[in-house]
Each structure stands twice: as C-alpha cells, then as structure tokens.
C-alpha cells in the first residue's frame, strides 16, 4: 500500500552534500579570490567592472569573465553586508549563469544569490530584468540590494504599479531593474500599442526609443525569482490590455436579467456543466426555456444568440467562481484572486462578459466591458529574452516543462545545512467538520509543547472559515491572505515566535523567512499544517518548505477531507459515489490509503493545466505566424479584425 505520508523532502530534492566536489571547489575559489582583494580600494571596484564590461562588449563570452564578475560581486556583498555568501549560493549563481533554474530550498538566500548573475549579465550594457511575484518584494529587493550594486558602479531601478511612464522609462534605463512579470509584460504590450499595427524594422524602433516614445529597451536578460510561480502557474493566463467600450443600459439589463434567469434552469436537463474547463453549455430544452422566459423591454433588441451566451456566462459565474476563493469584493469592485498564490490581482478582469456576470451575481454596479487591444502569453514574453534563468524552491516537478517551453535546465542545489524536516502521516476524514476538530486538537497539543504553527489553506474563504473556528476555541492567531497582502511580510516574520499560530493561504508571505525564537527551536521548531492539497504538488512543497529552513528543526502534516476543493474538480457523480463510499467506511477518520485518491486527482489536474498551457502556446504561435505573414504586429488583438 502507498504510504500516506506526503514528503516533499526526498533524497532527490536534497542531493548528497559530498557529491558536487568540483563545483564546491569552484565556490571556495571564488570566495578565496574575493578575500585576496580585501585591501582593494573601493574606487577601484567600479573600474574593474568597467574593464569586464569592455571585454564583453568587445565580444568575449560571459563564461570567460564569470569568475572575475562573481569575485567582485562577493567582495561587494561582504563589504556591504558584513558576511560571505555560502558555497551553495555561489553554486546556485553559477547554475543560473549557465541558463538554468536553480532549485534552492526555502531560507537558502536566493535573493542574494541572484546578485551574482545579475552583475554578470549587466556587463553587456543592455539591461537585466530581475522578476519577482509582487511589488512589495520587487521594491524591497531593489532597496536592500542597491548599496551592493552601487559599490560596483552599477545602477538599479524598480518598476511598480503606481509609476508614470517617465519614471518607468528611467527605471528600465538602469543596469538592473526589479519588477513583476505583470508590470514588465504590460509595459511591453503598451510599447507594442505605441508602435502601431504595422511591423517595423529594428532601426525604426531604435529611433522611436531614442525619441522617448517607448518605455522599455529590448528584452535581453531575465532573472526570475519564484520561477515556478511566474513561468508555470501564471502562464495559464495571458497578459491582456483592454480598451473600455461604452456601456449601454441594454447590456446592464441583460446581465441583471441573466443572473436572475439562471435560477429557473435545471442542471443536466437545461444545461451541461464541464467543471474541468469551467464551461457551461445550454441544451436544446434549456434554450427553449430561455426563449419563453419573460424579458424586460430594454432587451427587445438583443438577439437570442447573445442572450444564450450571457446565460452561459452567468451560469459559469454562479457554478465555478466563489467569493473569497476566486475573487474578493472591495469598495463595490470585484478583484480577482490568483488561484496559485492567493494574491490579489487589482486591475485585471475576466473576459467575454464573465467579469460583468460575477458583478451581477454579487449585485454590484456593472462595469464597462473591455475588448482586447494587446495580448501576449507569459511563455511568449519570456521566450523573447535571449538570456534567462531563475530560482525557486520547487522546480524539479516541472523540469520537463521548463526545458520544452523555455529551454531552461533545472539544477538542484544542496542545502547549506542538512535538512531535518520530518513529515507526519497524512490524515483523511469523511467530513470537513471532522477534519476541523482534528486540526484543533493537533493545534492545542502543539501549543502545549511550545511550538509555533503555520496553518496553510487553499483560499481566502477557507482561511477565514478556519479563523472563525479558532476564535470559537479561543486560540489566538493571525490571519494572512489576499486581504492583508500589504502587511504579509510583518505577519510572516512573527510566525516563528513562541505560541504563534498563523493561518495563511498557500503562497502568502512567499519570499519572507520565518525565523524561530530560541524557545520554539528547542521545542522542535515550526510545525506546518496543510488543511488541503493544492492542484499542484509544487504549491504543497512551497508551503511545507516554510519549516525547517537552514538546518532548523520542523515538522509538517496534511489534514484532508472528502469535502475538500481538490475533489470538486472531479465529475459530480463520481464525487458523490466516493463520498457515499467514505461515509460507509467511517463517519470520522478514514484509513490512510484514502490519501492516494487525492494524489491521483492532483496529478490529473497537473496534466490538465499543462495541456492548457501547451494549447494556448500553440494557438498563439499560429496566430503570430498569420499576422507576420500579412505584415501586422502579432501582439495587437485589434489587428485581428
């Protein structure tokens, strides 16, 4: 029987620390050379960097100057921060310099690791983009690392959501620019809109750039932090810039009416719902029922095909999109929540009337519809960087996709200290209530032991429901989800203190270390409770990786139930059969082998999501070839007619 313990820390993920002797010698050599320069005057460091830049611009390869660039970067880090990098950080940097994704565990110092390849690739003088998952981390890293870069004579910029065009242009003109994939991708699309529909020669583009017409320089180098989140999870949704269309009372009436009309339709009889694709299709009897329903006078001019389409959108909004899981409400606006990270995505809207259907469902003002003006997939955007690399704690699960889509290898970097994380057996329950009671009992036992506990939930709504249960049991705790993204770093930083209980959506606080108090370390470290399995095993590994960093003690355990969100991705009739079977087996905790069902479902969803990304790329490739053949800018949706 398959083990019920979900253990992200396998031998494959923690390579033998004695194995890479050649690379360890390389790292030791870099550090030794940096110490030999301890008496080098500060003003000589930028001069040496300029010498390396001249060599690269004269045609030398990055590999030929890598040792010298890394040595100077390590010297600058020691003089600025007062410590040396670990050998494994230099190994990670070396892997990135060879166009790979460095898989480094949580707490291994990825932020400083990225400095070395950023310095190396900046020698080309064409700009390095360091990409991370949110504005807070981009601004934090740019601010904290700026003294290191400036000691080397390099300039640093940062692009965030609220910046004007001129400030963005200045940020992109720097040697190294920090920002999110969303901001950099949207700036790229806005530049495509400025260039217009017709394809132009590179010389014309340079002139346009020099005249201040464009914000970005050409894409040259991208260093992607949390690469699995940016390049894999976010790649299911293309980057879109929309143009607002004038709203009409007729369309508002249509959305309101559809939201009411769907209450009169019956599943399977009037419509068929595909939960895997989140699509709904009206049946012939359903179409006849919609035709016969009474409609307001404002809808008299709306054709039936449009009404059928909007009925289907309203059903999708009702069936597949839940408040505080897929979106939140703030000041009469629907704000999308990223399903992989649990982060808010302000400014983004669902297309094809879905966003307005959700507004009607929530009885909010109906926003103006948008039409796509420019579009690019995440895959296509990053494929345009001739130099690219990245780092994350969980890359090996997606190494095939990294290689096929981005031509990036995955290199597992050993931990600086042996990982002593322990996984406890997974527990499965027939109901959510039984699971919650078991979580409460486990929490109370852990707090009596003097431990700190991080409880992972899959959505905003789940985190707040669990918070309500903790309040009932009078357990003090902090809650961290998309509603509190502005203070997530402070909340996460307190999660390792004695008696701390922190409820967090799966990815909240990513990029911030949890430091243990001496009492918690002595008691056994941070314990992570995962209250559900995510649709991707990598997200589960990220959550579990929050404990036992840098050789700290730590444990984790999964608590699952037959009412979890993961199983709702299976056909409804199959879920009902499984739940009946489970209720016959036990009214409380189920045998350990039930965990296999969750693993199979997770693998099924991972395959589906990969197919979706692959199909989206294939469609975009065909579209771009067609546009280029007729001489039009392939990124502008408006050119498609």
Residue 108 marked as a ligand binder: yes
Interatomic CA distance for residues 455 and 477, integer angstroms: 10
Contact call for residues 460 and 591 (beta carbons, < 8 A): no
Can you tell me the distance from the alpha carbon of 125 to that of 135, in angstroms, rounded to the nearest whole number? Answer: 25
Assess contact for 542 and 409: CB atoms under 8 A: no
DSSP E strands in 338-379: the ranges are: 344-345, 370-376
Helix (H), strand (E) at residue 623: helix 595-629
* Selection from 106, 13, 12 nearest residue 454 by Cα: 106
Burial letters 214-251, b for 16+ CB under 10 A, else e: bbbbebbbbbbbbbbbbbbbbbebbbbbbeeeeeeeeb
Beta bridge partners of 590: 428
Asked whether residue 179 is marked as a ligand-binding residue, the answer is: no
- Give bridge partners of residue 337 from the DSSP assignment: 344
The tokens of 419 are what? 């990982």
Among candidate residues 559, 552, 568, the one with its CA nearest the CA of residue 5: 559
Q: Is 563 annotated as a binding residue?
A: no
Helix (H) or strand (E) run with residue 190 in it: helix 181-195
SS3 state of residue 479: strand
107 is in an annotated binding site: yes
Contacts of 116 (CB under 8 A, 6+ apart): 69, 70, 73, 74, 85, 89, 90, 93, 94, 96, 97
> Has 573 been labeled as part of a binding site?
no
How far apart CA 226 and CA 539 sit, in angstroms, is 11
The b/e string for 55-73 (b: 16+ C-beta within 10 A; e otherwise) is: ebeeeeebeebbebbbbbb
**How far apart, in Å, are the Cα atoms of 210 and each of 143, 173, 201, 205, 230?**
28, 11, 15, 9, 31
Element (H, E) at 225: strand 221-225
- Quote the CA–CA distance of 384 and 386 in Å, as a whole number: 6
CA pair distance 82, 109, nearest whole angstrom:
15
The residue to which tokens 């139930």 are assigned: 561
As beta bridge partners, residue 282 has: 271
Helix (H), strand (E), coil (C) string for 281-321: EECHHHHHHHHHCCCCHHHCCCCHHHHHHHHHHHHHHHHHC
- Is residue 513 a known part of a binding site? yes
Measured distance CA(105)–CA(360) in Å, rounded: 44
Binding-site positions for ATP read 89, 107-111, 513
Annotated binding site: 89, 107-111, 513
């Amino acid at each position: 029987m398959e083990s019920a313990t979900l253990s992200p820390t396998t031998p494959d993920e923690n390579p033998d620390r004695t194995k890479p002797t050649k690379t360890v010698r390389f790292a030791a050599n870099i550090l030794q050379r940096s110490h030999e320069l301890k008496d080098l005057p500060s003003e000589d460091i930028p001069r040496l960097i300029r010498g390396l830049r001249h060599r690269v611009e004269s045609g030398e390869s990055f590999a030929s100057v890598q040792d010298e660039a890394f040595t100077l970067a390590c010297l600058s880090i020691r003089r600025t921060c007062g410590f040396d990098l670990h050998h494994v950080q230099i190994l990670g940097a070396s892997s990135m310099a060879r166009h790979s994704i460095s898989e480094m565990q949580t707490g291994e110092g990825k932020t400083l690791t990225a400095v070395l390849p950023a310095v190396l690739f900046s020698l080309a003088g064409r700009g390095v983009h360091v990409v991370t998952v949110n504005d807070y981390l981009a601004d934090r890293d740019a601010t904290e690392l700026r003294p290191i870069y400036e000691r080397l004579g390099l300039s640093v910029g940062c692009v965030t959501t609220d910046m004007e065009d001129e400030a963005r242009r200045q940020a992109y003109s720097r040697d190294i620019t920090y920002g999110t994939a969303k901001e950099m991708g949207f700036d790229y699309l806005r530049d495509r809109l400025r260039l217009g529909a017709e394809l132009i020669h590179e010389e014309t583009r340079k002139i346009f750039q020099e005249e201040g017409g464009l914000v970005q320089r050409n894409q040259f180098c991208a260093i992607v932090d949390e690469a699995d989140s940016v390049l894999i999870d976010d790649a299911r949704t293309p980057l879109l810039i929309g143009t607002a269309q004038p709203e009409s009372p007729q369309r508002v009436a249509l959305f309101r009416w559809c939201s009411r009309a769907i209450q009169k339709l019956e599943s399977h009889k009037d419509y068929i719902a595909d939960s895997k694709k989140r699509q709904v299709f009206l049946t012939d009897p359903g179409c006849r029922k919609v035709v016969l329903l009474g409609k307001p006078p404002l809808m008299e001019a709306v054709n039936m095909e449009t009404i059928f389409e909007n009925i289907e959108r309203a059903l999708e909004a009702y069936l597949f999109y839940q408040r505080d899981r897929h979106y939140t409400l703030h000041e009469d606006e629907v704000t999308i929540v990223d399903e992989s990270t649990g982060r808010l995505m302000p400014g983004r809207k669902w297309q094809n009337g879905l966003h307005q259907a959700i507004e009607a469902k929530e009885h909010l003002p109906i926003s103006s519809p948008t039409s796509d003006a420019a579009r690019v997939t995440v895959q296509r955007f990053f494929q345009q960087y001739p130099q690219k690399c990245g780092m994350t704690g969980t890359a090996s699960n997606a190494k095939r996709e990294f290689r096929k889509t981005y031509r990036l290898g995955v290199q597992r970097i050993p931990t600086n200290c042996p990982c002593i994380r322990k996984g406890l057996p997974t527990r499965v329950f027939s109901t959510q209530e039984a699971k919650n009671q078991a979580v409460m009992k486990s929490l109370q036992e852990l707090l009596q032991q003097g431990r700190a506990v991080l409880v992972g939930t899959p959505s905003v709504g789940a985190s707040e429901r669990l918070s309500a249960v903790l309040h009932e049991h009078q357990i003090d705790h902090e809650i961290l989800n998309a509603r509190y993204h502005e203070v997530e770093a402070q909340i996460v930083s307190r999660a390792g203190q004695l008696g701390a209980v922190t409820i967090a959506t799966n990815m909240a606080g990513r990029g911030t270390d949890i430091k243990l108090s001496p009492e918690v370390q002595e008691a056994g470290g941070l314990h992570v409770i995962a209250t559900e399995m995510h649709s991707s095993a990598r997200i589960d590994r990220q959550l579990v990786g929050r404990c036992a960093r840098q050789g700290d003690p730590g444990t984790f355990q999964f608590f699952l139930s037959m009412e979890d969100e993961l199983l709702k991705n299976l056909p409804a009739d199959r879920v009902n059969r499984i739940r009946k079977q489970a209720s016959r087996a036990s009214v409380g905790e189920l045998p350990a082998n039930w965990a296999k069902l969750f693993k199979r479902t997770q693998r099924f969803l991972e395959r589906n999501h990969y197919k979706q990304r692959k199909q989206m790329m294939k469609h975009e490739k065909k579209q771009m070839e067609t546009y280029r053949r007729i001489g039009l800018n392939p990124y502008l949706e408006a050119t498609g007619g």
